[in-house]
Structure 1
């Protein structure tokens, strides 16, 4: 794992405490992590939960949860996953258009038409509501903007979702993404490397819309291991 500054470690430790508080509340309520957004006990394949996403219009972030068909995903390994986005109307002005044009040029790609959101990453869950992996997908999967790793990481660093009716799951997701920042940085770098490698082989446009290319990078995650490392002597001594 890449070296983290004392400030980054402190931020991750606060995120760990917030995440554990969410699980403590769930245990006290005897509730499942997804109970706030699922409208039945078994998610309908491909449906969005909630239907119109969880959206923070002011802060400019949103997410939804869904499950794939058994033919497309191993249900024993993944119950479903979150898609996480930044909104173009809020964060688009903070994106360097020249840098992103260079990123797309390297991929022989073009901007998507009428995309209102920027896809950041996905978080896979098992049936118990425990996150098992972070992964990224090709642009055609959601049809949103796909930005460089550097820009995507910056957008994720500010992720927070506040709605009229505050959801526990929003706090959980915010804490989770902060807790696994080092893995997210690695995930995004691996995504870009995979795209560049594929683009070099193709030497033609259409990579980002190529439906034979879906998963770009994936990293398994373990909350217990992350917290044990985070609060180990190497990270607490002198911090």
Structure 2
């Protein structure tokens, strides 16, 4: 399998390269700009699979495809975690949210291997994606969750939830009242249900409410520790790979 990476942030490109190497996948080349990519495609055999960042140092990566006819399969690596993802889904394109999680990377590659025979000569509608980047579709998010408490159903307003977390294969909501409630969903499903302005996934185990953050403390290995107003059952740590994106979210 011939694989290339197009990513303008060289540390991110190197990290993705290492993750792929751990899975036995050799990357032929790492490209860092629109111009460099166009030149490479003009003089080399096109790969089977491209890991493609959207925003490059000299423009959107879609400009590559306006100049070069490429039929390679594509897995997007993107920080766009809201409306643009709907366009990726409409175009049957796989995507990985930054910072890339290794398990999600493995799943995306396995999906590619299964779908590989169908990815040849597929014409992707990049215009749809660009339109959604500029003029996103209006989305609605969960305003409350309904949980079972004994024989009763309880409605919990979203702004009363300090965090969501996973434990022992269960997903829980922790409220400002200091109560845990088991939900009939997974953290992965919460991605499409929670407003990204209100909640951020700081790790594989936690989503936190921005209004519930009491303190943020420097932690070992360039990580951050988050203190919430009421939740004290576990440490909440922002991984080193997520720190930059987390700080952008806070702003």
TM class, shorter-length: under 0.3
Normalised by the length of structure 1, the TM-score is 0.22
Higher relative contact order (CA 8 A, sep 6+): 1
Please state which structure has a larger fraction of its residues in strand. 2
Normalised by the length of structure 2, the TM-score is 0.21
Q: Which has the larger radius of gyration?
A: 2
